[in-house]
Structure 1
């Protein structure tokens, strides 16, 4: 369990539920860690997003956005490139990945390839390094797919697998994660 003053790395995937982090999940993660007294450092890949989405209409638009720069909107600029984190695992007690479609689009190719997806090299290095160090890792929303893909046999929770549950329209994800082993 985490103790007050724990050092927690938070990995972001942009800003906006359709092409980055769900802003509410990201901010809630940061607020709750802060309330618990954790020292938080944020990281994001320094690369272009898969695409940009107009959040008023849900339509894709031609603008390009950088994941690190978009994530910096959430953190008021206090963010580092994700490529720095695998070498700093010893400096942290835990890592958390808030959700949003950016996880499936910018941290991996889950959105377009499902179980055949690839995970960003830096993301995979972070997950595997924290796992090897036996440190806690948290994942919100769709982020558990990253762990299922990177750590064979990982046990993750993504919600209901009932396909008749109207409150959980993404029930297929649970089955797909099971396919990963």
Structure 2
């Protein structure tokens, strides 16, 4: 009985934590809609509205995933960065502005956009790899431009852990939309 009550309270609190209406991004982009990956593996770790000179950040971190090496754990992330931009650029131009400015040498491949890879009509999605401190990372990058807002979605983990979270990350991008339909 007590476990049932504790589980119910946890689920209720988790629902409050992930309630979209309370998120800063929802206040900045009222039309934004997305679904978090199913389950309780992902925690909201950052929800910061944009300020002059800084992007807004919404970030989720996966519970630690144990890897084959002793004492190796990794915490994949899903981050949404957003900012006001000029209405004269599209998602491709927006992606070019950012994909080349990353601190690591990216190997990227454009895989598409709406509707196969993204839930937003004004989007482009890339499969990316890079190496940091001799460890390869697999990343999904999505860029969306809608209503003078530029959005960058970064789904990042080390390549060894990617198969464990890949579908959840792809589903997040596929369900993310800033469009008004």
Q: Which has the higher helix share?
A: 1
For the criterion TM > 0.5, the same-fold answer is no
Q: Which has the higher strand share?
A: 2
Query: TM-score w.r.t. structure 1 length?
Result: 0.28
Query: TM-score w.r.t. structure 2 length?
Result: 0.28
